[in-house]
Amino acid sequence: MQPETSLPDYLTDDFSMYLENMISLADPENPDLLSNYLSNLFEQLKKMPLLFNGMADQLAMAISSKVRVDSKNLAKVELTDEPSWAEIKPFVGVHADARACISEIMTHAEQDLKTAILLIHFYNGYDATPLKAEEDEHDQLDEYGSNDYDENY
């Protein structure tokens, strides 16, 4: 079981958008939808590396299949306060076909790249299992334990 990690405040908005997009494209009836979409997104990014400038969630989607984040070791870094790119960079591997593109982004949009990497890191450890609802004593239909109620009321 993985330890519970909470999402830092500085990532909540971007992570919410990233998560929503990733979930909406994960279609069990069309299992290739997500991978095809991500491939197309990266091809666009490759032609214009600053295409998603200011849109870290879209950048994260575009590079998610082209970077490898060492989440196990990155989890040891204190991420409550926003880290620098230098603190994150050692935990990122880039596929050979994406190096030129990622280097361009790193040179001109380092903040977005760092945020995108962190989004991927937290997404990789995200547990989508719904939390069990806590029982609320006020939600009980009959606090005396009887089944004496009218369903047609």
Range list of H helices, the chain:
12-25, 33-47, 56-63, 71-74, 85-88, 99-108, 110-124
The per-residue pLDDT for 130 is 55
Is residue 151 very low, low, confident or very high in pLDDT (cuts 50, 70, 90)? low
Q: What percent of the chain stands above pLDDT 70? A: 79
The per-residue pLDDT for 149 is 46
Give burial (CB, 10 Å; 0-12/13-18/19+) of 17: middle
What's the chain's average pLDDT? 85
Residue 113: helix, strand or coil by DSSP? helix
* Tokens representing residue 32 in the block: 């290739």
Domain parsing of the chain, residue ranges: 9-128
The per-residue pLDDT for 3 is 43
pLDDT by residue (tens digit) across 40-91? 999 999 999 999 999 999 999 999 999 999 999 999 999 999 999 999 999 9
For residues 66 and 143, the model is more confident at: 66
